[in-house]
Amino acid sequence: MPYIVPASKTLRLKIVYYGPGLSGKTTNLVQLYEGIPADVRGKLIQLDTETERTLFFDYFPLNLGRLGSYRIKIDFFTVPGQSFYNATRRTVLEGVDGLVFVADSAPRREHANTVALRNLKSNLETLGTDFDQIPLVFQWNKRDAPGALPVELLERVLNPDGRPSVNAVALRGEGVRETQNLIVKSVLQRIRFLSQRGPGRNARKAGPKTAAS
């Protein structure tokens, strides 16, 4: 749910990139970060594990305007892809407003994609978050891989409900910004819808000391 910082009149939205190990989650965030003007983005924070990196950064999108009297700030996170970091995954998912599932199109990665999506659903259930209600965009990454899994197969197996999806080659920056635009749009639509149900019912308030920077 959105995170309100009353002192700065800021509404913080949390978007998490999820998916199997080495599917391109980190690449997405690095590409996205490097394409954002330095004066509206925070630092890129990196937490290293033995096999992967968990990344975080935030920024103020200049073109989103305000929601009521609050300016909007977006926090982007990745999660570790390896299953033995599941506790970290669950921690990162706490308070999530929107998700990007980065699927690996490389051959023989169908099972890894399925396992990661099942794990996402399980972690959301543990946290009391409804998978069917949270904004979600699928990204079919590594479309340039020789023998890439057909998009039709990925859609049928991973996205039977027809959520928004984007073809991508994140290493070249292809599909990265399109994915971000889709998930931000979906999150804002949901926040605006929920805000009509009454002020303060769907957001957490925090003082300055508890807000991430």
* Beta-carbon-side half-sphere exposure of residue 126 (alpha carbons within 13 Å): 13
Please choose, from the candidates 68, 38, 15, the residue with its C-alpha nearest in 3D space to the C-alpha of residue 194.
68
Q: What is the pLDDT of residue 84?
A: 67
pLDDT score recorded for residue 211: 33
Which has more confidence, 28 or 205?
28
Q: How far apart are CA 33 and CA 11, in angstroms?
A: 20
Number of Cα atoms under 13 Å in the Cβ half of residue 151: 13
CA distances to 21, 45, 46, 79, 196 from 85, rounded to whole Å, are: 11, 18, 15, 9, 38
Residue type, 24: G
Structure tokens at 77: 């996170």
Residues recorded for the chain: 213
pTM of the model: 0.89
Each residue's pLDDT tens digit, 82-105: 766 788 899 999 999 999 999 999
- Sorted by where each begins, the domain ranges of the chain are 3-210
Q: Tell me: the pLDDT tens digits for 129-183?
A: 999 999 999 999 999 999 999 999 999 999 999 999 999 999 999 999 999 999 9
CATH 3.40.50.300 fits 3-210, yes or no: yes
Exposed / middle / buried, residue 67 (Cβ in 10 Å: 0-12, 13-18, 19+): middle
pLDDT digits (tens, 9 = 90+) for 8-40: 888 999 999 999 999 999 999 999 999 999 988
Amino acid letter for position 131: F
